[in-house]
Amino acid sequence: MSILNRTKNIIKAQLADFEFSQKDPAIVIEQNLNDLKIFENQLKNSLAAMTAKLKLHEKHLKMMEEEQAIWLVRAEKAVGAGRDDLARQALLQKKSLEEEISKGKELRQQILTELELLEKEWQDCQLNCTKTQNQVLLYKHQQATALHPLKNEGLQNSRSLEMEFTKYHEETENNAEISALKNKLNNKNEEK
C-alpha cells in the first residue's frame, strides 16, 4: 500500500513540476507573491494568538503568586494563634503553589521562545514578500521594454535570456523557501 502511495506522490510531483515549467514566469511570480502574503497573514495571526496566550499565562502566574503570599500570611497568623496544625496546612498549600509557579515559569519561557521564533519567521516572510514584489516589478519592466524596438536587438536578446534564466532560478529558490516556511508553520500548528 505504501509503495502505491509513494508512486502516486512521485507522479503527482512530476506532473506539478511539468505544469510549473510550462507556466508564464509572471504568473508564477504573482502566485508566489500571493502564497507569501497568505502565509504572512497566517504568521501574523499565530503571533497574535501566541501573544494573547502569553499574557493570559502571565496573569495566571501573578494570581498564583498572590495566593501564595496569602497562604504565607495565614501560616504566620496560625503560628501566632498557637494553631500549628493550621500553619502546617497553610505551608503545604504555599509549597504546592510554589511548585505550580515553578512549572508555570518554565512554560512561560517556552512560550517566549516560540514567540521569538514566530517573530523571526514573520520577518523572514516579510523580506521574501519584498523580494518577490521586486521580482514582479522587474519582470513587468522587462516586458514593457521588450515591446519597444531596440537598436541592438541581438545584444538585448542575449541579456533578456540571461535575465529570464536568473529570474527562473530565483523563482525556484523562492518556491523552496515558501514550502519550507509552510511546513514549519504546519508543524507548529500540529504540535499545538
DSSP letter for each residue of 17-64: HHHHHHS-HHHHHHHHHHHHHHHHHHHHHHHHHHHHHHHHHHHHHHHH
CA distance 62 to 56: 10
User: What pLDDT digit, counting tens, does each position of 28-67 carry?
Assistant: 777 777 777 888 888 888 888 888 888 998 999 999 999 9
Backbone angles phi and psi of 152, in degrees to 5: -115, 80
Return the amino acid letter for 153.
E
Q: Where are the domains of the chain?
A: 53-191
The structure's pTM equals 0.52
The more confidently predicted of residues 192 and 54 is 54
User: What pLDDT digit, counting tens, does each position of 91-150 carry?
Assistant: 898 899 899 989 988 988 988 888 888 888 878 878 877 877 777 777 777 777 766 554
Residue 81, helix vs strand vs coil? coil
Residue 190 grid cell: 500540529
